[in-house]
Chain A
Amino acid sequence: MELDPRELKLIKQAIKARVTGCCEWDEEEGRRVMREYPELGHYELTLKGIKAILIDYVCSSGDIEQRREERHRWKDEYDFWYRAVIDVEDIPKPLFVEVRFIQEGPTLPVVRIVSAHF
């Protein structure tokens, strides 16, 4: 399957919109991330903080990478997944953030953040 530049554009649009509801954490995945990646806790980053870092990164022309979904768990639901690898000031390791496309929407596209780790 070919990559989908249009969907990638919608992803960026949703993140850059800075509108509540367009780019939010999935609660279940957020809790999983905090449980499975204690390094996030080491830097005391909150889920809100991770979202803010992602938005600032994309708004500063940071790159979002589109990848074909091949993981068994998600394969039937999503064609692609999206990731950003972000250098965060004061934190020595780059932050990896994973995003999924949910809907184009009548006014703005909607995405969900589903993972983050160093």
Chain B
Amino acid sequence: MTEPIKELPFPWPCGKCRQQTVERVAFPYSAELQYDGRTYSVEVPELHAPRCANCGAMILDDQANDQITDALRRQLGLLTPGQIRNNRDSLGLKQRDFATLLGVGESTVSRWETGSQIQQRSLDKLMRIYFAIPEVRDALADKDGLLELGSSVVKEPESRPEDLSGWVVRRSSCTSSRDLPHEYATFLCSLDEPCSSEETRDYGFWKAYTHLLEHKPTRPRLALTDKFYSFVLRSFREERKKPDPANFLLENIFSSRHDALDALREVSPDVANLLPLVSCWAVLTDSSARTQWRALFERAVETLSAVSAGKSGREEEWGRWFVAPLRSVQSSDLEQSARLSRLASRLDMLTEAKRESVLVQYEKLTELMVP
């Protein structure tokens, strides 16, 4: 019994010139192939394919096709048929099981592994993480658990000014946050977006904070959230790398310890409301602001000390916490000229209208701080 042949003996007939002159030869080949709706130019430096010696017509048998699609896969960074098959085998999965896990037909997996079909890029990525990460395999195998994955939607901040995206919380019986000044609400929302420049963000910050202070008497139930304080803290950390007692104070005021401000607010609302703002302002600006800030700070300490006198617990802790940075600031030799220079350059970068507005706000603050 003769062995069945696997390949017709060369030379083959040519479909174009009808001569029996087709031989397998090696030659450089280039073609444009479609993948994922786009056209890619593929180069194969040495394609082994049957070609007619008489008219040059080519035949694409499986070997030549594999060479061409392999070149495309390499160019696109896709798994090869062998890699898919070997990875699946190493996990002990049958084609049918693997297809079920990925949500495709068994025939599709078979076609991927024989080079009959090139997997879509998204499925290629899914297969890669499936092969590489055991947790992904567990997740895909757990049908019920899989339904839960990704079902809770991460809410993106909306662009509507009335959506304050967690910057402000309403306390009990508060009116809608839509009642906030439009500019303030818009600014708070903009904090979620990449900022065009530090100057813009600082300017907006001061402006918004001033609004908050100015409107506070009519909005008694609104409070800033941890998100807001974290934002401010992060901004200041990014901007000022050098250790500075004032920065230390700011970090603490705006981080976990802003509950101290709430305590202060209960006994001295004016001081409590102004302290963070003036502290920030003092860091950025000149010595007069810093002097005012120190005066205000001392008032805060006195107030808290009075409250905490004879008491133990949180109030006393808050008092201690305020005193430590104050002493630190008092003993430091701050470079005021450098700060003045920074403020001047900041103001220069603002438009004239904004510059005026900043200065007006600063004057307002100064007035507010007069005992």
On A, residues with C-beta under 8 Å from B are 19-22, 24-28, 30-31, 34-35, 38, 40-53, 88-90, 100, 102-103, 105, 107-108, 110, 112
Contact = CB atoms under 8 A, between A and B. Distances in A.
B19 to A, nearest CB: 11
Contacts of B114: 48-49, 52
A88 B9 CA distance: 32
A110 B50 CA distance: 14
A41 B34 contact: yes
Interface stretch (B54-62, B175-183, B221-229, B331-339): B54-62
Contacts of A48: 62, 65-66, 69, 114-116
B291 interface: no
Contacts of A21: 7-8, 10, 12, 50, 59, 61
Q: Which of A31, A41, A108 has the most CB of B within 10 A?
A: A41
B13 A110 contact: yes
8 contacts: A20-B62, A21-B7, A28-B58, A35-B34, A89-B105, A89-B107, A90-B105, A102-B18
A22 to B, nearest CB: 6
A41 B31 CA distance: 14
Contacts of B5: 19, 107-108
The main secondary structure of chain A at its interface with chain B is mixed
Given A20-B6, A42-B37, A90-B104, A27 B117 contact: no
Interface string B31-46: 1111111000000000
Contacts of A27: 49, 57-60
B119 interface: yes
Contact of A19 (B7, B37, B105, B115): B7
A102 B15 contact: yes
B13 A44 contact: no
Contacts of B86: none
Interface of B: 4-10, 12-13, 15-16, 18, 31-37, 49-50, 57-63, 65-66, 69, 104-108, 111, 114-120
A90 B66 contact: no
Contacts of B120: 44
A28 to B, nearest CB: 7
Given A46-B115, A49-B116, A90-B108, 20 more contacts: A21-B10, A21-B59, A21-B61, A24-B61, A25-B59, A34-B33, A41-B34, A42-B37, A45-B111, A48-B65, A48-B66, A49-B115, A50-B116, A52-B114, A89-B107, A89-B108, A90-B105, A105-B8, A107-B5, A108-B5
B284 to A, nearest CB: 58
Contacts of B108: 89-90
A15 to B, nearest CB: 13
